[in-house]
Amino acid sequence: MDLDSAPASVETDASDDNDDCPVVAAVPDFSAQETEINAVRDMLGRYTYLTLLDFRTTPLNEFDRSQALAFPTLFPIGATEYTLPRMRFVTYKHYARHLMKHESGRFARHPRFRYVVFNTIMRHRASKSSGFYVRRFADRPEISLNQ
């Protein structure tokens, strides 16, 4: 094949041309969109305010240990939630251990559940330890950082 030669001409039949199909080019009309945006803004009003929720004076319990709402796939009906009343007292640690060893394995396989349980146990342990420290050193004068 000779690369310096001109390309071969392609002959076309007049019957191959689609004269029936119109050639269309579109240029977006941004002014039409601006009027639509302005119409929507006028309908909604210029100033929209968000209403705040009512303020509660009762603090939320950080150690509620209710995970049924956070993990609806693990607690589909909420019947095994820790905060429900039981016939005998079960510690959260034993409750979590039982869930992790559940026969279905869904609690152990969940990607985040074990971390939430561990975080809850550690925060509760830290809270109890800080209370012990405060009770033990309540009668001492101010403690500096160097002590």
Containing structural domain, residue 117: 58-138
- Rounded distance, CA 123 to CA 114, Å? 14
Q: What is the pLDDT of residues 40-70, one digit of tens each?
A: 777 777 666 677 777 777 776 666 667 777 8
- pLDDT of residue 97 exceeding 90, the answer is yes
The total number of structural domains that make up the chain: 1
Q: What angle is formed at CA 107 by the lines to CA 102 and CA 109, rounded to 5 degrees?
A: 110
96 falls within a domain: yes
73 falls within a domain: yes
104 falls within a domain: yes
Q: What is the pLDDT of residues 86-96, one digit of tens each?
A: 899 998 899 99
